[in-house]
Structure 1
Amino acid sequence: MWHGIAQQLSQILAFEFVIQEREPLKGGDCNQCYMISDGQQRYFVKINDREYLQKFESEIDNLSNLLHTGTLSVPQPVTCGIIKDKAFLILNYLPTKPLTAANDQYHFGQQLARLHLWGEQKEYGYDADTYVGLNLQPNAWHKKWGVFFSECRIGWQLQLLKEKGIEFGDIEQIISLVKQKIGTHNPSPSLLHGNLSRNNYALSVHGAICYDPSSYWGDPECDLAIIEEFSDLGPDFFSGYESIRLLDSGYDKRRDIYQLYYLLCRCNQYGGEYLTQCVAKIQLLQDGGR
């Protein structure tokens, strides 16, 4: 397998890349991860089953679009492909460490705010479906945020869970409650990273860098809600964010339904404790919030 990966990488680089070093890396929830080197250049490699190729293609597309914005720092995608029964993805490699310093978190917040202010888009969605972990995100274009989020995010995940025998109540009723919660909130669509949990950002020699995007055009509050629920970023991050872009009023009332989506995704993939957390969030929604 590794010889075949080296051959395909050589075709992209236009010189023979011979793997002299291969180091397993920790941190991948779904994939086997490695650093490979020819003694001079290093690359990051993800490996999974053959059917994961579509996910890797989506990741390359998302990373390329984020790079195009010139806002967030993300790995440079190199290529992806198939060797026998395995799919692989290759990115450029940078050594990283935890993003803990207040100043670094502040600048990361500024980067994310600049992403949310970048570009012009009139509708919510994306040109292709994307993934949160193993979960497909349908991204058909919509003009109303409340319809898009309640149906293409919450409703979609609830239906997938129902097909697995996990039900949280009447799906149409929950969709209706989410629409009511969002109300007339129809923000200017922003390009989102879409999956900023604690394993998906770090500090490199060039500053903060983030990985594994699940991008689409939506409400920037979705990125902030997942950060509050699933990251260890503190007040310095949010101070940096608000130095560039102020939060819309009512975010504190919408945050729970945005966090519910990511909890449903994790419940769909892992089950366990996430099922209990989903029950609590849906109960809060049914009770009318805080």
Structure 2
Amino acid sequence: MSPQPRLRSPLEQRRASRRPGVRRPCRSGVRVMAGHPSASAWISEHLGSPVVKEGFVGGSGWSSAYTVDTQDGRRFFVKTALGRDDSMFRGEALGLQAMYDTHSIRVPKVFHYGPLSPGPGRGGSFIVMEHLDLERGRLGMAELGRRLAAMHLATPKDPDAAAGRFGFPVDNTIGGTPQLNGWMDDWVAFFRDRRLMPQLKMTGDAKLMRQGEALCSRLGSLFEGVEVRPSVLHGDLWSGNIGAVGEEPAVFDPATYYGHHEAEFGMSWCAGFSPEFYRAYHELIPRAPGFEARADLYRLYHYLNHLNLFGDSYYGQCAAILGRLV
């Protein structure tokens, strides 16, 4: 496939918005309607105080984010998705709750998700959650490593995951891509059928499909001698989804499911994890044999997703990893 111009990835967009001298879409204090009045109406009615100000934070091809301030001085974080039902935000809400239930790392509390009031040809959904003050936070990489390991070691609250099954109660999304989460008893089969194969088919590329099918036929060899237990995973852990409230690490915007803890590092190529992070994490969860080969495997899933979302500039990484693993 020849290289084509591509859209900037969420990582590039967010980094650009943080560069000195680059203007954000909305200046502080300017009122911007949050895509639809339903979210502000819900906050005013159910959280006890009228909305007095809204500000646009940013967006992607599948949702837009806003801060919403109320008359009593509280601030909430709202996301809207025009033209989408509330299944995407339901998956996000349940994912945040699953991570919260581990009592290990800070996540925003969800107050509500649901459909937007019908509009002419629009429709859509919204989610209202706690606003985390990340501007003054100080993220310590070692503490993030310890907190993430504690989350992965926590006994799942979900009965299926606690019984050793892999998946999640609902399907969700990874970026804007549907992510299938139907429960399965075998991790290798789950990663093959729910993760790799859907992404490979989505590429429509015959060469990647041939290599991917060859990899899937020998996938079990990458897990020989390794015991895999279901851990609650953030599922999309990159620098744009990590912050700190004070000195407490926080994560948000998940694509949560119960899976192999090592799969959490599939986005490590744009997460900025330091040596101190890995040292702290592996003090609690030591590396198992074959870690590096499986790290390639888990990166492949996210590179394929980026290829499907953002275009051909990610083709080379996908082909290179498949070449190494096959």
* TM-score using structure 2 length: 0.79
Equivalences for residues 182-221 of structure 1 within 5 A: 182-183=223-224, 185-205=226-246, 207-221=248-262
Match of 2:185 among 118, 123, 143: 143
Q: Which residue of 2 aligns with 1:94?
A: 132
**2:198 is equivalent to residue 156 of structure 1:** yes
TM-align CA RMSD? 2.2
Task: Quote how far apart the aligned CAs of 1:76 are.
Answer: 0.6
Contact 2:136 2:246 (C-alpha < 8 Å) held by counterparts: no
Task: Quote how far apart the aligned CAs of 1:142 are.
Answer: 2.0
Structure 1 residues 29 and 51, CA gap change in structure 2 (3 angstroms): closer
Once residues 283 and 136 of structure 2 are traced to their aligned partners in structure 1, the CA distance between those partners, rounded to angstroms, is 23
Task: Quote how far apart the aligned CAs of 1:177 are.
Answer: 3.4
Task: Quote how far apart the aligned CAs of 1:111 are.
Answer: 0.8
Q: Which residue of 1 aligns with 2:43?
A: 9
Contact 1:78 1:90 (C-alpha < 8 Å) held by counterparts: yes
Equivalences for residues 69-84 of structure 1 within 5 A: 69-81=102-114, 82-84=116-118
Aligned length: 279
Contact 1:146 1:186 (C-alpha < 8 Å) held by counterparts: no
Q: Secondary structure at the match of 1:37?
A: strand
Structure 1 residues 136 and 3, CA gap change in structure 2 (3 angstroms): closer
Counterpart residue type for residue 23 of structure 1: G
Once residues 7 and 273 of structure 1 are traced to their aligned partners in structure 2, the CA distance between those partners, rounded to angstroms, is 42
Contact 1:32 1:47 (C-alpha < 8 Å) held by counterparts: yes
Task: Quote how far apart the aligned CAs of 1:154 are.
Answer: 0.8
Structure 1 residues 152 and 183, CA gap change in structure 2 (3 angstroms): farther
Q: Secondary structure at the match of 2:243?
A: strand
Task: Quote how far apart the aligned CAs of 1:206 are.
Answer: 5.3
Counterpart residue type for residue 88 of structure 1: F
Counterpart residue type for residue 6 of structure 1: S
Structure 1 residues 131 and 167, CA gap change in structure 2 (3 angstroms): farther
Structure 1 residues 27 and 50, CA gap change in structure 2 (3 angstroms): closer
Contact 2:89 2:127 (C-alpha < 8 Å) held by counterparts: yes
Q: Secondary structure at the match of 1:25?
A: strand
Cα deviation, 1:95-132, whole Å, max 9, x if unaligned, reads 2149775xx11111111101111113412112221221
Counterpart residue type for residue 176 of structure 2: L
Structure 1 residues 6 and 256, CA gap change in structure 2 (3 angstroms): same
Once residues 264 and 98 of structure 1 are traced to their aligned partners in structure 2, the CA distance between those partners, rounded to angstroms, is 35
Q: Which residue of 2 aligns with 1:35?
A: 67
- Tell which deviates more after alignment, 20-29 or 244-253: 20-29
Once residues 38 and 192 of structure 2 are traced to their aligned partners in structure 1, the CA distance between those partners, rounded to angstroms, is 44
Cα deviation, 1:29-72, whole Å, max 9, x if unaligned, reads 64211111014110011122131521011101111111111112
Match of 2:100 among 55, 67, 71: 67
Q: Secondary structure at the match of 1:96?
A: coil
Task: Quote how far apart the aligned CAs of 1:251 are.
Answer: 0.7
Contact 1:123 1:142 (C-alpha < 8 Å) held by counterparts: yes
Equivalences for residues 114-263 of structure 1 within 5 A: 114-119=150-155, 120-162=162-204, 168-170=208-210, 171-183=212-224, 185-205=226-246, 207-227=248-268, 229-263=269-303
Cα deviation, 1:207-250, whole Å, max 9, x if unaligned, reads 111111111111100113422x2211211111221232222222
User: Can you give the 5+ residue segments of structure 1 that lack an aligned partner in the other structure?
Assistant: none
Match of 1:109 among 145, 155, 162: 145
Structure 1 residues 95 and 27, CA gap change in structure 2 (3 angstroms): farther
Q: Secondary structure at the match of 1:243?
A: helix
Task: Quote how far apart the aligned CAs of 1:161 are.
Answer: 2.0
Once residues 185 and 91 of structure 1 are traced to their aligned partners in structure 2, the CA distance between those partners, rounded to angstroms, is 38
Task: Quote how far apart the aligned CAs of 1:166 are.
Answer: 6.7
Q: Secondary structure at the match of 1:149?
A: helix
Once residues 166 and 7 of structure 1 are traced to their aligned partners in structure 2, the CA distance between those partners, rounded to angstroms, is 49
Q: Which residue of 2 aligns with 1:48?
A: 81
